[in-house]
Amino acid sequence: MLQQPAKPMTSIASPMVPQLRVVPNVPSEKHKKLLSELEERNRELESSTPEEIIRWGIERFGNGLTFATAFGPEGMVILHHLSQIDRSVHCFNLDTGYQFKETLELRELTKQKLGIEVELCRPDESVAEYEAANGGPLYQTNPSQCCFDRKIKVLNKAISGKTAWISAIRRDQSPDRAAAPIVGWDDKFKLVKINPLANLTKGDIWTAILDNDVPYNPLHDQGFPSIGCEPCTRPIQIGEDERAGRWSGSAKTECGLHSLDS
């Protein structure tokens, strides 16, 4: 009996395992060019006046430029400059629902005296809805989360479609702000950040306010040098740092808009 030739063994192929393609986070040539431009402009503008820096920002970014303000002394100085240079620049305020009534009244005064209407950008949830969803005021138990939900998320929406934003920070206000460039790339919010007042002092700001009759928050005359949300702001004592009244009793010093963490 003839033996049938053995059939060749059929190998069972292992299923193809897809390989994850790791794409390095390498800046595009366009972005590299922008970073190079910002580095050069930062050096050039370091000794420029706030007006000159703002004018450059308007000329460079046009309708892509926006300004976020909490109506502090520094913010009011920038609003004053914008009223003299270009009132059409988009300006907005992060209205958490917890702001002092004096702050909101200053918004109306800004419209009357400076001719600029600052847009109020609000979270999707009202204060009542937010507190109900979190079992009470979250600023009492987790202020950082509260700031994230009612400020950072709102800012991200407000700057959508924009290419640059103006900030009113000063380098001497806090450690996180000490290294702020005049102009640079904001990696947290993915757009250009312009700090026209970075190298000014508190004295410079108040000189500008008084010399130009710039409106300001009356709470500054009542011991509040830095004003944020009402529940998280107190007047400071003699000798305290100007931001000591913010989130008093905790290690928190920034809401997250200008902190170095990404």
Helices (H), the chain: 29-45, 50-61, 73-85, 101-114, 127-133, 138-141, 143-147, 153-158, 202-211
In this structure, what token pair is assigned to residue 257? Answer: 């808009």
CA pair distance 155, 149, nearest whole angstrom? 10
Helix (H) or strand (E) holding 191: strand 191-194
Contact 78, 87 (CB under 8 A): no
Phi, psi dihedrals of residue 72, rounded to the nearest 5°: -75, 175
Contact 168, 199 (CB under 8 A): no
Of the residues 91, 229, 232, 255, which is catalytic? 255
Q: Measured on CA atoms in the order 236, 50, 88, 259, is the torsion positive or negative? A: negative
Contact 222, 102 (CB under 8 A): no
Active site residue 91: no
b/e sequence 192-204, b meaning 16+ C-beta within 10 Å = bbbbbbbbbeeee
**Which are the catalytic amino acids?**
255
